[in-house]
Amino acid sequence: MQEFYKKHTKNTEKPSPEVLEQAAREAERREAEILDEQWGELIAECRAAYRIPLLESDRHAFRISLGLEFQELLRRRDDVLLSIIKDQAKLYEHGDVCWGQLVEANPLLSRPNNEHTLPAAIIYSLDPIYDGNPGTLEKIAQGLSSSKNTVDDDTEFGIFMRTIRKDFERILKLEMPRMLCDGRSVFYSTILIQPSHLPGGLLTKRRFPIVTNAKETEAAMVLPQHFWPQRLMKNWLAVSSGD
């Protein structure tokens, strides 16, 4: 690590432990960095790891569980999010894997030691053009976040924005106006994120693989870390340790 420090700082003095620790984090970040052209390879690796039919251990890794109070709240409201729990098997037995891009999430999901399964809003698409170009989804999600409280007209976009403002935490698979997505099919949806499905147990990044099943359910869920390639897990954990 001292060699790394000297190479990148051109300092020949013996560095302090704090500087060495900082250099170690930077080296870890550089090693875990994912290049733009690698995202397509990573989603292909996720699909290869998620094999059907699943082993029993794989089914166990997929299962979503809710806290009793939250589950009772959803039941009292007859919340559509319960369909995610009901349709879990349809996802893990017959699912399709693609990139999900976070729009917003319950803040507790980003806190260490949180064990509660909580809602988050994402966008995603099964269009293969996004396999190797998920950055486009990121730009669309950023546009939604920046416009959520400002757009309020009767255009297709305005109606869509009013809908997601009104029904956040309870929208499943709402197609976005294609004018926002270069004419392609992109969906806005609420999912339930279980911390154990994420490396490190918390939400540290805004892009992750998800599972959908367009033929049988409107539900979607995070592809559990059990199926993530090591490169993707390493990237996620490097960001987590550096924040």
Q: Which tens digits make up the pLDDT trace of 177-193?
A: 999 899 999 999 999 99
Predicted confidence at residue 117, as pLDDT, reads 94
Same domain flag for 55 and 144? yes
pLDDT tens readout for residues 3-26:
555 555 555 567 787 766 666 566
Instruction: Count structural domains, the chain.
Output: 2
Q: State which H helix or E strand residue 188 sits in.
A: strand 187-193
Flag whether pLDDT at 2 surpasses 60. Answer: no
Flag whether pLDDT at 197 surpasses 90. Answer: yes
Mean pLDDT of 208-222: 96
- Measured in degrees and rounded to the nearest 5, phi and psi for residue 125 equal -150, 145
Q: What is the mean pLDDT of the chain?
A: 85
Predicted confidence at residue 13, as pLDDT, reads 66
Predicted confidence at residue 164, as pLDDT, reads 75
pLDDT tens readout for residues 99-115:
999 999 999 999 999 99
Share of the chain above pLDDT 90, in %: 56
Flag whether pLDDT at 158 surpasses 80. Answer: no
Same domain flag for 233 and 152? yes
Instruction: Select the more confidently predicted residue: 204 or 58.
Output: 204
Same domain flag for 149 and 176? yes
In the block, residue with structure tokens 């260490």: 112
Same domain flag for 221 and 123? yes
Contacts of 138 (CB under 8 A, 6+ apart): 101, 206, 207
Domain residues for 130? 36-242
Flag whether pLDDT at 152 surpasses 90. Answer: no
Flag whether pLDDT at 229 surpasses 80. Answer: yes
Same domain flag for 25 and 10? yes
Predicted confidence at residue 241, as pLDDT, reads 47
Same domain flag for 1 and 67? no
Dihedral in degrees, nearest 10, Cα atoms 15, 17, 21, 27: 30
Instruction: Using a cut of 0.85, tell me whether the model's pTM lies above it.
Output: no
Question: What is the spatial distance between Cα 197 and Cα 210, in angstroms, rounded to a whole number?
Answer: 11
Taking CA atoms, 23 is separated from 1, 19, 29, in Å, by 7, 6, 10
Work out the pLDDT band at 62, boundaries 50, 70, 90. confident
Mean pLDDT of 162-168: 68
Question: What is the spatial distance between Cα 81 and Cα 190, in angstroms, rounded to a whole number?
Answer: 8
Same domain flag for 26 and 47? no
